[in-house]
């Protein structure tokens, strides 16, 4: 995906969406892509991070050396680390997030997430939704010192929402997915603008360099 044309003076924001499902035809992937459309509508540059495309090792807690980290782990860290906002999508498995998403998160840390805006999307095959998985992700976001936006999307009975023919059956779910993507992009832009203003104020208040 590419960003829509930026209006003059607006901060260029990058939002990535991580799909925590490896299943072919994944409903989670389709949900994350809808949310990225919302971020794109808000003027963000967007990218889907499909974990099917990464050969990730298991996080084992061992100390790393520069030569010990596989290239796909480094690639994941670079792509997430360069983003201003992150959408996390997961199917709910046994009352929690998917193992593949948890492992991907365990391979990253503060460098990739601290101070970033995060939006949450959970998909369930049953009628109860994915609230337990979303609560777990919200706790992980807090532990990583990220800002988790209030809006989140829990999608129950996903097979009824995402028909085999493509698209999305439920207009309300589509709107909520677009909204969470839009919120992540907008809050990320506001956060970056605030940081820029703080830098300018600090710079202007700094003592004049006597050697200048």
In a domain, 43, yes or no: yes
In a domain, 5, yes or no: no
* Mean pLDDT of the region 17-34: 96
* Alpha helix ranges (H) inside 16-157: 27-41, 71-81, 99-106, 110-113, 131-143
The secondary element (H helix, E strand) that includes residue 154 is: strand 147-155
HSE of 201 in the Cβ direction (CA atoms, 13 Å)?
6
Q: Is residue 212 part of a domain?
A: no
pLDDT digits (tens, 9 = 90+) for 187-199: 999 998 866 565 4
The enclosing domain of 57 has a CATH number of 3.40.50.360
For 118-157, what is each residue's pLDDT tens digit?
999 999 999 999 999 999 999 999 999 999 999 999 999 9
Query: What is the per-residue burial (b if ≥16 Cβ within 10 Å, else e) of 1-15?
Result: eebeeeeeeebebbb
Q: Whole-angstrom distance between the N-terminal and C-terminal Cα of the chain?
A: 45
Judge contact between 42 and 186, C-beta under 8 A: yes
Residue 129 located in a structural domain: yes
Is the pLDDT confidence value at 211 over 50?
A: no
Classify 138 as helix, strand or coil: helix
- Asked if the structure places residue 2 within a domain, the reply is no
Average pLDDT, the chain: 89
Task: Give the burial string for 169-201 (b: 16+ CB within 10 Å, else e).
Answer: eeeebbebbbbbbbbbbbbbbebbeeeeeeeee
Rounded CA separation 38/125 (Å): 24
Number of domains in the chain: 1
> What's phi and psi for 83, nearest 5 deg?
-85, 150
203 has a pLDDT exceeding 50: no
In a domain, 124, yes or no: yes
The two structure tokens encoding residue 136: 């777990």
pLDDT at residue 44, as a whole number:
97
Instruction: Tell me, yes or no, if the pTM score tops 0.75.
Output: yes
Residue-number span of the structural domain to which 93 is assigned: 14-205
Q: In what order do the strands lie in the sheet with 117-123?
A: 45-50, 14-19, 85-91, 117-123, 147-155
**3 in any annotated domain:** no
Q: Closest Cα partner for 156 from 131, 189, 176?
A: 131
Cβ pair 49, 180 in contact under 8 A:
no
Confidence label for 64 from pLDDT (cuts 50, 70 and 90)? confident
121 found inside a domain: yes
């Amino acid at each position: 995906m590419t960003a829509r044309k930026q209006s003059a003076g607006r901060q260029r924001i990058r939002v990535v969406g991580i799909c925590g499902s490896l299943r072919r035809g994944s409903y989670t992937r389709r949900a994350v892509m809808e949310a990225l459309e919302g971020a794109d509508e808000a003027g963000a540059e967007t990218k889907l991070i499909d974990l099917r495309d990464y050969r990730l090792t298991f996080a084992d807690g061992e100390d790393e050396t520069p030569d010990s980290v596989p290239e796909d782990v480094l690639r994941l860290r670079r792509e997430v680390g360069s983003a201003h906002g992150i959408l996390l999508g997961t199917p709910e498995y046994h009352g929690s997030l998917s193992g593949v998403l948890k492992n991907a998160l365990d391979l990253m840390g503060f460098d990739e997430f601290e101070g970033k805006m995060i939006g949450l999307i959970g998909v369930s095959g049953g009628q109860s939704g994915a609230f337990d998985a979303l609560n777990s992700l919200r706790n992980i976001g807090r532990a990583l010192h990220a800002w988790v936006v209030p809006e989140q999307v829990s999608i129950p009975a996903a097979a009824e929402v995402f028909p085999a023919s493509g698209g999305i059956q439920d207009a309300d779910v589509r709107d909520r997915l677009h909204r969470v993507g839009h919120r992540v992009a907008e809050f990320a832009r506001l956060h970056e603008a605030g940081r820029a203003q703080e830098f300018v104020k600090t710079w202007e208040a700094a003592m004049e360099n006597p050697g200048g």
